[in-house]
Structure 1
Amino acid sequence: MNGAVGARGTRRAVNGPVLAAGCVLWRRSEPSGRLEICLVHRPRYDDWSHPKGKLKHGEPALDAALREVLEETGHHCVPGAPLPTARYLANGRPKEVAYWAAEAAGGSFVPGSEVDRVSWLVPEAARARLSQDRDRELVDALLALLPDL
């Protein structure tokens, strides 16, 4: 069968959307225990977003999401529930990004050319800093999953 695997494992036509995956990375701050969300700054676009990136050929979306979190933030993570898939146009082509909630499990950030800064922010501050409304919606979805945090 000719096609590519969609963000959540469905078959897509080869000329379908660009497939990507990422996570809304979170942790409990020390010592308050408050929820903090990790945002990445991409100097190429001068924007703040959640860690994400394109799937490699044959790579499952969740594997790509975990790889991208590690590459962009330096943190390992424990994936949780899926979050809404973002669908939008990027450079005139449809893009589909599958997201998961993911708890940080240790690591440290090293700046690079793709991501030069990360910020751990409480949800209200993360919503304010995010460059795209679709990324703010992911914060809301995370908060709905983690009401006790």
Structure 2
Amino acid sequence: MTVTATDLRHLRRAVELARLALERGDEPFGSVLVSGAGRELFEDHNHVVERDETQHPELAIARWAGWHLRPEERAAATVYTSGEHCPMCAAAHGWVGLGRIVYAVSSAQLVTWRTAWGCPPGPVAALPIRQLVPDAVVEGPVPELEAEVKGLHEAFALAPR
């Protein structure tokens, strides 16, 4: 895995967005789209509590990229995200032809944590991105951010509802 200092900076922004989602009462996921030239193009966080269960930031990035970037720009871009794409978001990433994905924590890590906290399983299997998009360039998890992201998810999982 070759996660650079620049990658870490963008991943930290994705984690900040995840924290913002948590502060707004939502599941802590955040993502940033960065051009091949290194310019941040679009960012978002989860909106599943206020809207619907499909309002993931990775899906919003795929939709935005499809409308605003040429195919070669999409292929050169990188998506930085606090958590590995779910199958819905991975499929959108593949269909739109986005480039590299760098995630802080994996779906497998999240499933393990949620199980330990007594959370019910999600409605969709937590599959690795490459199982859905075999040619995807994927890097993660990033150990430097694991404890912070785990803390965000624990706070959401254990919050009274």
Q: Which has the higher helix share?
A: 2
Report the TM-score when normalising by structure 2.
0.27
Report the TM-score when normalising by structure 1.
0.28
Q: Which has the higher strand share?
A: 1
Tell which has more relative contact order, 1 or 2 (C-alpha 8 A, sep 6+): 1
